[in-house]
């Protein structure tokens, strides 16, 4: 046992006590928790601690090494910044959910066994659902339900994989797994869903823009990056991740160009940036893993900065669509500068944090001689500057003058944005503190003539493409539409299933119920009948054949009048049946 607590416990226990405080005392208390967690990290001993027996295995709540510490540092740092950003919020639900969310991420980071990992993993999913629901709109309610169903599916895949893994390998150790059998495949799918790896990515641009202003900051930092950490520990050097990550860097660019909601643009660019990390995990070399950790660290800060700046605009104006905004630099200059710092960082502009982290991954790909992947990353680097580096600040703060004259956001929001912007610039100018906490020794110099000139050429190409499209009038016009994505493969079969549930299933149920009713009537007349057996049979058949189809019909009937939402709502119905079918196959295979 050690005197240092698992950092997750500080957040989780602290979250329970939040409603007990009021006013300034609550704000001070909220800030104290991440500070205590940060101090606690400094005293965590290397190795395993806080272990307890569970069945024939051990739960390890605190496993410390350089990989987990690096992610632990940035999770605590962004929790502190995010807490400052949300101090003006009077809703205890959001504070409790955010702290629980951060505690779950730290629990995942320092978990030493698969069962502990799963518990914290599901806690993160539930807390993030609350941050979406807390916006209290119809769109957020539907998005939260869809988000929950996706992560419920991923959690079940993970749990099934863990159980099979423990049975086949006889251990709960959370370390390198490798993709070798059914158990590892199920675990792999569960992890990839949280990392928004194609084709399990469509939940992210659906949910993040509909979260609360402050909740989106935590969501952008924790879910996908905790999944990146787990993939780096369990599946490094996997070729599937190499190509999946490369594809992830490219395809979101095309969606981000045509999206009007600026927070949705950032959501697609988030997938793009996580793709660089997943690609580095696929390489698996020491330089690549260092690049993954460095880029995750920097990405958490600058992506949170971008969500904070766009969230500030949404908070002050009530608008977030690019076509509704413009000219805000006149009355929100500080927010505009912070947004541009985040945009320069995500674009890997020299002297900003993204440059010193992304270069590691690109160099690792070049060293591994994956030429096609290298070109894909270069294309993606130019593309992200186009949509996240230029489009977001241009449409919000410059472009046409919308006539909106809003003030700067509250002081605490500006402090949080200023802190994140300072870190982005500081690490870009002086990356030594970042490199010192990476898992492996760093022998890499980002500021060489080759790296700087090459990146500037890519950035200028992206800027030129954006300028030419704007001036020529060929820039894709934002319009109200549903963009097809991988959810199409759920939506189309789901429509057929909805129609089947609405009429044919009820008709079949009535026929079967009538037939079973005659059988039960005959059974009642038998001399050996039992009143208790009769009651149980009546209840069973009535529930199975009458109430269950009626419930399904009630659930799907509103979907007939909500065609625009049908693409998502079918997930509610289809996923449980898919899971049931998988379970049956696994039991009787």
Half-sphere exposure for 542 (CA within 13 Å, toward CB):
7
pLDDT tens per residue across all 589 residues of the chain: 455 788 999 999 999 999 999 989 999 999 999 999 999 999 888 888 888 887 778 888 889 999 999 999 999 999 999 999 999 999 899 999 999 999 999 999 999 899 999 999 999 999 999 999 999 898 899 889 889 988 999 999 999 999 999 998 888 888 899 888 899 999 999 999 999 998 888 889 989 999 999 999 999 999 999 999 999 999 998 899 999 999 999 888 888 888 888 999 999 999 999 999 999 999 989 999 999 999 999 999 999 999 999 999 999 998 988 888 888 888 999 999 999 999 999 988 899 999 999 889 888 988 888 889 988 888 888 888 877 788 889 889 887 887 788 899 999 999 999 999 999 999 999 999 999 999 999 888 888 888 788 788 777 777 777 777 767 766 666 555 566 677 777 667 766 766 766 667 667 767 776 776 666 565 555 544 445 555 555 555 556 555 655 655 555 454 444 443 433 343 444 444 444 444 434 443 4
Cα–Cα dist 96/84, whole Å:
14
Q: What is the 3-state secondary structure (H, E, C) of 125-178?
A: HHHHHHHHHCCCCHHHHHHHHHHHHHHHHHHHHHHHHHHHHHHHHCCCECCCCC
Positions of E strands within 419-515: none
- Bridge partners for 51 per DSSP: 60
Q: What is the 3-state secondary structure (H, E, C) of 233-244?
A: HHCCCCHHHHHH
pLDDT of residue 532: 53
Distances (CA, A) of 228 to 257, 329, 439: 25, 35, 14
Domain ranges for the chain, please list them. 1-235, 237-486, 490-588
Cα–Cα dist 75/374, whole Å:
29
Angle between helices 531-542 and 504-524 (to 10 degrees): 170
pLDDT of residue 579: 45
Query: Can you give the pTM of this predicted structure?
Result: 0.83
**Two structure tokens written together for 261:** 């909601």
Residues whose CB is less than 8 angstroms from the CB of residue 244 and which lie 6 or more positions away in sequence, other chains included: 192, 197, 198, 275, 278, 282
Cα–Cα dist 41/9, whole Å:
12
- Taken in order 224, 225, 226, 230, the sign of the CA dihedral is positive
pLDDT of residue 348: 87
Q: What backbone torsions phi and psi does residue 526 show, to the nearest 5 degrees? A: -70, 145
| 15 and 103 Cβ atoms separated by less than 8 Å | yes
Distances (CA, A) of 371 to 374, 377, 444, 516: 5, 10, 21, 66
Cα–Cα dist 255/270, whole Å:
12
The residue among 66, 74, 55 whose CA lies nearest residue 115 is: 55
Cα–Cα dist 151/126, whole Å:
9
- Taken in order 53, 57, 60, 64, the sign of the CA dihedral is positive
């Amino acid at each position: 046992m050690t005197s240092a607590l698992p950092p997750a416990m500080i957040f989780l226990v602290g979250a329970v006590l939040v409603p007990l405080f009021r006013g300034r005392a609550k704000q001070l208390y909220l800030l104290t928790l991440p500070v205590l967690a940060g101090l606690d990290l400094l005293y965590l001993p290397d190795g395993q601690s806080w272990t307890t027996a569970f069945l024939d295995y051990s739960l390890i709540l605190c496993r410390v090494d350089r990989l987990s510490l690096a992610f632990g540092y940035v999770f605590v740092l962004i929790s502190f910044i995010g807490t400052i950003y949300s101090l003006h919020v009077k809703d205890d639900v959001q504070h409790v959910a955010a702290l629980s969310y951060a505690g779950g991420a730290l629990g995942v980071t320092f978990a030493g066994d698969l069962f502990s990992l799963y518990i914290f993993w599901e806690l993160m999913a539930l807390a993030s659902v609350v941050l979406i629901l807390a916006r209290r709109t119809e769109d957020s309610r539907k998005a939260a339900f869809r988000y929950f169903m996706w992560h419920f599916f991923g959690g079940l895949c993970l749990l099934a994989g863990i159980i099979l893994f423990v049975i086949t390998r006889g251990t709960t150790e959370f370390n390198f797994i490798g993709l070798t059998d059914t158990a590892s495949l199920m675990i792999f799918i569960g992890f990839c869903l949280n990392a928004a790896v194609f084709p399990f990515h469509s939940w992210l641009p659906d949910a993040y823009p509909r979260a609360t202003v402050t909740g989106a900051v935590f969501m952008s930092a924790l879910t996908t990056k905790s999944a990146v950490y787990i993939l780096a520990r369990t599946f490094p050097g996997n070729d599937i991740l190499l190509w999946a990550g490369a594809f992830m860097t490219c395809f979101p660019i095309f969606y981000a160009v045509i999206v009007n909601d600026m927070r949705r643009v950032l959501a697609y660019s988030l997938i793009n940036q996580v793709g660089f990390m997943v690609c580095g995990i696929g390489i698996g070399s020491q330089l690549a893993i260092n690049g993954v950790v460095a880029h995750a660290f920097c990405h958490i800060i600058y992506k949170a900065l971008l969500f904070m700046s766009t969230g500030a605009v949404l908070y002050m104006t009530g608008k977030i669509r690019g076509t509704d905004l413009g000219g805000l630099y006149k009355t929100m200059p500080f927010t505009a500068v912070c947004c541009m710092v985040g945009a320069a960082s995500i674009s890997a502009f020299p002297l900003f944090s993204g440059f010193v982290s992304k270069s590691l991954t690109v160099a690792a790909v070049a060293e591994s001689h994956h030429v096609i992947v290298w070109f894909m990353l270069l294309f993606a680097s130019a593309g992200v500057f186009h949509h996240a580096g230029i489009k977001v600040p241009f449409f919000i703060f410059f472009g046409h003058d919308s006539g909106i004259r809003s003030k700067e956001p509250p002081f605490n929001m500006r402090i949080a944005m200023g802190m994140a912007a300072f870190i982005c610039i500081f690490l870009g100018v002086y990356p030594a503190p970042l490199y010192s906490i990476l898992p492996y020794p760093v022998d890499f110099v980002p500021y060489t003539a080759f790296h700087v000139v090459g990146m500037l050429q890519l950035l200028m190409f992206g800027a030129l493409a954006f300028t030419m499209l704007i001036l020529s009038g060929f820039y894709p016009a934002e319009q109200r539409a549903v963009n097809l994505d991988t959810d199409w493969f759920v939506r189309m079969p789901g429509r057929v299933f909805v129609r089947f549930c609405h009429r044919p299933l009820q008709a079949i149920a009535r026929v079967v119920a009538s037939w079973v009713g005659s059988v039960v009537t005959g059974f009642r007349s038998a001399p050996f009948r039992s009143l208790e057996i009769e009651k149980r049979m009546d209840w069973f058949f009535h529930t199975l054949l009458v109430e269950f189809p009626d419930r399904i019909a009630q659930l799907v009937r509103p979907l007939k009048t909500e065609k625009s939402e049908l693409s998502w709502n079918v997930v509610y119905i289809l996923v449980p049946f898919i899971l049931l079918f998988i379970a049956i196959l696994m039991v009787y295979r």
